[in-house]
Structure 1
Amino acid sequence: MATLKEILAKKIEEFRPRTTRLVKEFGDVKIGDVTISQAIGGARDVKCLVTDISYLDPHEGIRFRGKTIPETFEALPKAPNSNYPTVEAFWFFLLTGDVPTQAQVDEVIAEWKTRQVVPSYVWDAIRGLPRDSHPMVMLSVGLLAMQRDSKFAAFYNSGKFNKNVAWESVYEDACDIVARIPIVAAFIYNLKYRSDFQVPIDPKLDMGANFAHMIGQCEDYKDVARMYFILHSDHESGNVSAHTTHLVHSALSDPYYAYSAGINGLAGPLHGLANQEVLDWTLKFQEKYCKDQEPTKELVTKALWDTLNSGQVVPGYGHAVLRKTDPRYMSQREFCLNTPGLKDDKLFKLVAMIFETAPGVLMEHGKAKNPWPNVDAQSGVIQWYYGVREWDFYTVLFGVGRALGCMANITWDRGLGYAIERPKSVTTAMLEKWAEESKKAASN
């Protein structure tokens, strides 16, 4: 007698051609206001989410509150002795759309200091995990452990819940999360990679600088942290981490539940985990093709063709929405080019040559819809240069930054009273019926 798993395997194999045929032959058939290919293909390009925090234009890239990345960096008050704004200034800007004054930035910095104290039971919960647990598991557990202090949950359970003011307690939770998450991330880094050597908070430093201080980094890394957290903060609402956070919070789950879920989505290799995969690939590429020689255009071109002809992809190139080089990539590239030592680093030189070469190769190859690099193609190089070489931690860094956008968005979700998210699903048989009806109508 066949087992349940064997029966299921047979049914899946029988079912797959139905889905394949629908996408291939009837992908453009409308079912309501979307096509069959959109329904099957992850709701790609379906305009059904609203956010004013950021917008991703396929040809222009991300805009934060209407400003491009260079415009954002230029407009916001800078950290002391830095060309980059503080994360606190950016948080004010994300929430309000207004460029803060220095006094307003200082107020946010001071407020975050009062919120950065993480309860000891959070450390106990993280330490209770096996030491070889992935750092994203530790971050997710840390967030859930902090849920005990959720002000939104307390307000909902108080018997005095009022949807018109519910955003206020979401705001309190959101501020606690964005202030505490870099502290939790630094704790995880030190626990896993520095023999549990924990460094206390420096009350004089802004968030990015304090994170650098807590993981034992150099002065230059303070700007790396500020830049990295801001660049990874938000990418409109359709990406997995942002959408998951919004979806879970739409059920009035508190921000800790919601962002823990978002973090779990971010940990996927098709989302935030991609940055460590790109670095792994780049290092192997360097070892195989450029170990003892300069990465010339001719050498890299041949190596890329060898890669593609062997059936592999060039990771870090292509994006679900963008149809140009990711401006976040360009911001990090500019940082590298303006940093003595880093611009001459062998790994950066290789990444730079791949950037100059890969789009042409990919266009000639013809299978890539977008031959341009995304943010992941550059992110790991900077971390590697500064000695943060534990690449399974890179997605935690991403998660610290992404908290800013996710928390700003759900604060506004509650402020505007958005409903629980509940799209309508259909069956494959219904799709097949609509496809046949469309086929008959076209033949008449």
Structure 2
Amino acid sequence: MVGKTVNKSVDRALFEITPEIQHFAGLCEKNNAIDKELYTKYEVKRGLRDLNGKGVLAGLTNISDVCAKKIVNGEEVPCAGNLYYRGYNIKDLVGGFLKEDHFGFEEIAYLILFGELPSSSELEMFHETLVERRTLPPNFVRDVIMKAPSGDMMNSLSREILNLYSYDDKADDTTISNVLRQCLNLISQFPMLMVYSYHAYNFRMGEDLYIYAPQPNLSTAENILMMLREDKKYTKLEARILDMALVLHMDHGGGNNSTFTTHVVTSSGTDTYSTISAAMASLKGPKHGGANIKVTQMFADMKEKISDWTDEDEVHQYLEDLLDKKAFDRKGLIYGMGHAIYSVSDPRAEIFKQFVEQLAKEKGREEEYALYAMVERMAPQVIGEKRKIYKGVNANVDFYSGLVYSMLDLPASLYTPIFAAARIVGWSAHRLEELKNVDKIIRPAYKPLSPYREYVKMEDR
């Protein structure tokens, strides 16, 4: 009896928003509020960006470039977006390995990590290096992955990455060669961690458990699909599109939230496992890597609320309701629309879109694709009617990636981890770049607003 009483008390303290918490929350709301006009007065770049989306220059990088403007008559004007990996246009890279009919993940990972496109022999050596690292420490699946599995795969993965620290005798060695070793390990291990975490949680929910070892002759994308499915079967098209998705998500400049997190945490001198776990926490956010889940959830709600998917007036009204915080999660956002940098087009979304219609026809989901296309066309207009826009609004990569993953029959809980399985390559490259070039901890300034006060004795408060 005593034990049960204690448990109920602990449950209340840990998991309920009690009146005391409500009281303290009120103090947080009151004493943390800052007049938004002060940000303008002191020329603070909120989000480290100006009103046009131009970021504050915080570093230099050779790894990738996000281009959304061009110079015309001496002035910057928006243009169709382009993404470059080590100087190569992403459209050319994707077109190259698709035309040559081979998987791109390993080739483009080599480029991002080492700065040059590999020869066939260099690519073979790199592939073999990744293959030999597709393994986990003894009993890691049992002792870590199977213990307390979570329905949120990103949290599970972060915990597992931190646990790998305990198995590394040189965990705190931040020399380039050792950090590269750790990064290659994590790039190779990540698909296993991701898929095994998914199966472990399903097993906890009463489903059968199956853990397949990755196959040395398969690409990263093929191994993900093989390990994920009970029958190990997948089509060539499915593997090709997943491989392309991994390439598109591999890096996106040094300033995106999770990559900047990588730079910030690396600058403190901490270990690789802590750094990548911090990047994972950033990517999980619904405004960053978690946005593709939000897009699919938003469309699920839309399809339920709208009686006729082809009725533009109904769709228009739903989009207005989203912005007015009357629909879906009431956050006032149309997920998948808009980007911090791109104002005309997101090249990753353009590449995805080339395959979406083809997939939709093969999967018998043309009506759903037509709804997505309608929203993509109408959303910028609705946003422009409701809000002041400082730059253009367009569909970003998350708008179509969730739909693509859905048509590939990938579970929604793995949408963001798949993003991470690709972006870990970029994080690794940026960590190595930070270690090589910068020896100062990143510490921007914040202007204090609170006036100085004299201490007040308890009896006088």
TM-score bin (small chain): 0.7 to 0.9
Partner of 2:227: 214
Residues 122 and 241 (structure 1 numbering): CA distance in 2 closer, same or farther, change over 3 Å? farther
1:181–1:5 CA distance, 2 compared to 1 (3 A): same
Select which of 282, 291, 295 maps to 1:265.
282
Which deviations, in whole Å up to 9, do the C-alpha atoms of 1:280-333 show, x marking residues without a partner?
A: 01111112215xx55354553344345445654321111122212221111111
Shift of 1:52: 1.5
AA at the equivalent of 1:379: S
**Aligned twin of 2:16:** none
Q: Which amino acid aligns with 1:172?
A: R
User: For the Cα contact (< 8 Å) 1:336–1:343, is it kept in 2?
Assistant: no
3-state SS in 1 of match to 2:362: coil
| SS of residue in 2 equivalent to 1:260 | helix
In 1, Cα distance between equivalents of 2:317 and 2:199: 41
Tell me if the contact between 1:317 and 1:371 (Cα under 8 Å) persists in the aligned partners: yes
Q: Is the aligned partner of 1:254 residue 2:276?
A: no
Residues 155 and 318 (structure 1), Cα distance of their counterparts in 2 relative to 1, 3 Å cut:
closer
TM-aligned CA distance change 1:331 to 1:125, over 3 Å: farther
Matching of residue 52 in structure 1 with residue 62 in structure 2: yes
Q: Provide the secondary structure at the position in 2 that maps to 1:428.
A: coil
Which of 304, 318, 323 does residue 338 from structure 2 map onto?
318
The equivalent residue for 1:170 is 179
Q: Indicate the residue corresponding to 1:196 in structure 2.
A: 209
Give the counterpart letter for 2:407 in structure 1: Y
Verify the 8 A CA contact 1:185 1:396 in the aligned structure 2: yes
CA distance in 1, matches of 2:185, 2:100: 24
CA distance in 1, matches of 2:442, 2:351: 35
**Count of aligned pairs:** 402
The one of 296, 305, 310 equivalent to 1:295 is: 310
1:384-399 alignment to 2 at 5 Å?
A: 384-388=406-410, 390-399=411-420
- Residue in 1 that maps onto 2:35: 19
Instruction: Work out whether 1:63 is the aligned partner of 2:84.
Output: yes
For the residue of structure 2 that corresponds to 1:99, the secondary structure is coil
Contact persistence 2:196–2:211 (CA under 8 A)? yes
Tell whether the 8 Å contact from 1:316 to 1:375 is kept in structure 2 after alignment.
Answer: yes
1:120 aligned counterpart, secondary structure: coil
Hey, what does 1:380 align to over in structure 2? 402
Quote the sequence identity (%). 22
Confirm or deny that 1:146 pairs with 2:164.
yes
Please, which of 98, 111, 131 is the counterpart of residue 93 of structure 1?
Answer: 111
Q: For residues 412 and 343 of structure 1, do their structure 2 counterparts lie closer, same or farther at Cα, with a shift above 3 Å needed?
A: farther
- Separation (CA, whole Å) in 1 of partners of 2:220 and 2:20: 55
TM-score (norm 2): 0.79
Paired residues of 1:53 and 1:408 also in contact (CA < 8 A): yes
Q: Find the aligned partners of 2:281 and 2:396 in 1 and give their Cα distance.
A: 21
Equivalent-residue separation in structure 1 for 2:433 and 2:415 (angstroms): 28
Which one is further off, 191-200 or 5-14?
5-14
Deviation at 1:126, TM superposition (A): 3.6
Name the aligned partner's letter for residue 304 of structure 1.
L
Q: Residues 78-118 of structure 1, C-alpha deviation per residue, up to 9 Å, x if partnerless?
A: 59845xx4211011111233222222222211111101111
Q: How far off is 1:391 after superposition?
A: 1.9
1:344 Cα offset (Å): 4.5
Q: Secondary structure at the match of 2:35?
A: helix
Q: Is the 8 A contact 1:150 1:256 kept in 2?
A: no
The structure-2 alpha-carbon separation of the partners of 1:397 and 1:296, relative to structure 1 and needing over 3 Å to count, comes to same
Q: Deviations over 1:386-427 (max 9, x none)?
A: 222x32321111111110100011122223354322333331
Q: Which amino acid aligns with 2:372?
A: V
TM-score by length of 1: 0.82
Aligned match of 1:43? 48
Go from structure 1 to structure 2 and tell me whether the alpha carbon gap of 1:363 and 1:152 turns closer, same or farther (over 3 Å shift). Answer: farther
Gaps of 5+ in 1: 30-34, 157-165, 431-444
Q: Aligned in 2, Cα 1:237/1:80: closer, same or farther, shift over 3 Å?
A: same
Query: Following the alignment from structure 2 to structure 1, what is the Cα–Cα distance between the partners of residues 186 and 122?
Result: 20
Pairing partner for 1:279 from 288, 293, 296: 296
Shift of 1:11: 7.1
Label 1:302 to 1:421 Cα distance change in 2 as closer, same or farther (>3 A): closer
Aligned match of 2:131: 113
Query: How is 1:359-374 mapped onto 2 (pairs within 5 angstroms)?
Result: 359-369=380-390, 370-374=392-396
CA–CA distance in structure 2, aligned partners of residues 250 and 150 of structure 1 = 21
Q: Secondary structure at the match of 1:341?
A: helix
Structure 2: how far apart are the matches of 1:391 and 1:110?
31
In the alignment, the residues of structure 2 paired with residue 422 and residue 302 of structure 1 have an alpha-carbon distance, to the nearest angstrom, of 45
